[in-house]
Structure formats: C-alpha cells, structure tokens
Amino acid sequence: MAQLYPWLTPLWEQWQAHLEADRFPNAALLIAKPGFGEDQLVSQFSRAVMCSNFAAEPCGFCHSCQLMESNNHPDFHWIKPEKEGKAITVDQIRQCNRLAQESSQLAGYRVIVIQPADSMNESAANALLKTLETPSPSCLFLLVSSAASQLLPTITSRCQQWHISPPEAAELTTWLTEQTQKNVPSYAAHINGNAPLSTLKFIEDDEQKRYLAIEQQLVEIVSQGGDAIKLAKDLSGDIEKSLLWLWYLLTDTQKVHFGLQLSSAVPGAQALAERIEYNLLYQQTQALQTLIEQLTQHTGLNRELLILDWLFKFNGDTCL
C-alpha cells in the first residue's frame, strides 16, 4: 500500500472500517483545508473501492487495480473544473448523473469524485442534488471541499461529512524535520495555518528569511524609522501570503499584550508589542482583516497604494 501522509492515517482507518463493513455512505463529503494533501486520501480510497479482491485496500494486481494504476478505469471519474479556478458546470454534473444511473462496466462499484465541490455553480449543485436523493446502490459520490460553508445546505445534508484534522504540533515538527533535514522554526506551522504541505514549502523554499525581513521592516515602521514605500512594494509581490503573515504577527502581538506566552508565536511579536499601543494595534488588525477581504474579493484595486495607506496609519498618517 502506498504510504499516506501521517495526518491522513486516522481518517483513512475510519474509512477502511466502513468499507470492511460495507457501510460506506453513497454520498460523502471530505472537508480539507489547502495544504493537507487530501488527493492522496481520495486516490487511496478510490483504488480500494475499485479493487475486485479486497474491500478496504487495493491488492495492486487485479484487472481493476491495473486499470486504476494506468488512470483508465471506466467506472472511476474524478470531476474537476475544466480550468483551474473556474466553475464545475451543469453539463459536467449531468454527465455524472448519467454515469450514476448506468450499470458498472466491470460489475463492481462506480466512484465519482467531485473536487472542489464548492466550485459547482448553483445549477450544477441542483442537478447533482436529484441524483444524491435517489442513490444507486453501487455508486459512491465523494465530494471534496475546503469550504463546506460555500456548498448548498441541501447538498451537505445529503452527505456524510468527514474532516482531516491537523496533526499535533510536535508530530508535525518531527515530520517536517524528517522531510527537510532542516531546522524547523517553532512558528513555521503556525503562520501557515498548521497546514503540513504549506509549511513544508515554507521551509524548503527558505521563506522564513522573507518572513523575518517583513517582520523587521514592520517593527521599524512602528518605531517611526522604517521605509513604508519599500515594505508596501515587498508585500505586494506575494500579497495573499504576505498579508496573512502580517495578520499572524499582529494577532500574536495582541496575545503578548494580554500576557500570553505561546511557543508558536512569531519571533517579532514581543518587539512589536513593546512599540505599539494596544488600541492602535487592535484597529490595525481589524483594518488588515478588511484589507485582506477586499483584495481577495476584488481584482483591479491598487494593492500597493492600499497597503501603503494601511502602513501609514501606524504613524497616524494617511496617504489616501
């Protein structure tokens, strides 16, 4: 059996128990935040279901397993948007519905994976709903999403839901150290939302240097000595990630103000807390939250200018 990421194993074992007992639901929803490598679990699950020898793991040598290996199994369908970031269309879902009603080509199960399920538009979701309401016994639907709240409640209520839980901090650090053979900073997982694969990339790409430089620049700006224009430029290079890092920096700094000492806190939180009043810190954290939402929802904004304006407010100024 292929080696799974260690944080996927607990859920995989639950799924195996359901498969062994022949009571895996016809409609399942897997909720996984980005950076958890859930495709590995989806693939392992599909190969296990399709195998004609074993119930809860792929044997690796039967005809079905070989067809899965070569991505050629006629009863396995992995539905994704035709282009990344686009919607899963109603036509794609109608095609799924036809497949769900047909009988299996190889007399076993059919598996239909829909990922990301939240990229179905409303008419696609409604088309799927009808099929989920009248499940065909040998057809399993597995929906995968990072944002279950964006799915129609009528869809989620039809599915049994499963979550991938983040690994414990110590377990994650051990895994990251094994993978990278590098020193793993105690805050690395924290500022990557405890997502193992995002943290791995952070360490492998030496992103902590960039993080620490951003942190240093912000501390200087708050101390009235920094170059806000330079920092605004640096941040807008990889804006979503950089602003999220700043958000972790500010919220960790708030915790320092409250006297909380967390081992996962970013290194600059203490220095920043010594240089900024709590009220201003609080206002700027709220403003950053709003800015992040604005920039994710609207393209075409002048990002650098908006960030610069936010940075100026640390010194009571504004550029807008």
Q: Name the site residues for Zn ion (rule: CB under 5 A).
A: 51, 53, 59, 62, 65
110-114/139-145 β-pairing: parallel
Tokens of 42: 């989806």
The C-alpha atoms of residue 48 and residue 69 are separated, in whole angstroms, by: 12
Residue (62 or 152) nearer to Zn ion, CB: 62
What H or E segment, with its residue span, contains residue 194? none
Residue (65 or 231) nearer to Zn ion, CB: 65
Residue (65 or 276) nearer to Zn ion, CB: 65
Residue (51 or 100) nearer to Zn ion, CB: 51
* Least distance from Zn ion to the Cβ atom of residue 45, Å: 14
User: In DSSP terms, which residues pair with 139 in a beta bridge?
Assistant: 110
* Least distance from Zn ion to the Cβ atom of residue 50, Å: 7
Distances in whole angstroms, Cα of residue 178 to Cα of each of 96, 175, 184: 41, 5, 10
* Least distance from Zn ion to the Cβ atom of residue 26, Å: 22
Residue (25 or 108) nearer to Zn ion, CB: 108
CB-based burial label for 314 (10 Å; 0-12, 13-18, 19+): buried
* Least distance from Zn ion to the Cβ atom of residue 112, Å: 19
**Phi, psi dihedrals of residue 34, rounded to the nearest 5°:** -60, 145
* Least distance from Zn ion to the Cβ atom of residue 66, Å: 8
* Least distance from Zn ion to the Cβ atom of residue 55, Å: 11
The C-alpha atoms of residue 155 and residue 242 are separated, in whole angstroms, by: 35
The C-alpha atoms of residue 15 and residue 31 are separated, in whole angstroms, by: 14
Residue (53 or 183) nearer to Zn ion, CB: 53
The C-alpha atoms of residue 138 and residue 26 are separated, in whole angstroms, by: 8
Q: Could you please report the per-residue DSSP string of 267-315?
A: TTHHHHHHHS-HHHHHHHHHHHHHHHHHHHH-SSS-HHHHHHHHHHGGG
* Least distance from Zn ion to the Cβ atom of residue 1, Å: 11
Nearest to 258 by CA among 278, 244, 276, 275: 278
Residue (50 or 127) nearer to Zn ion, CB: 50
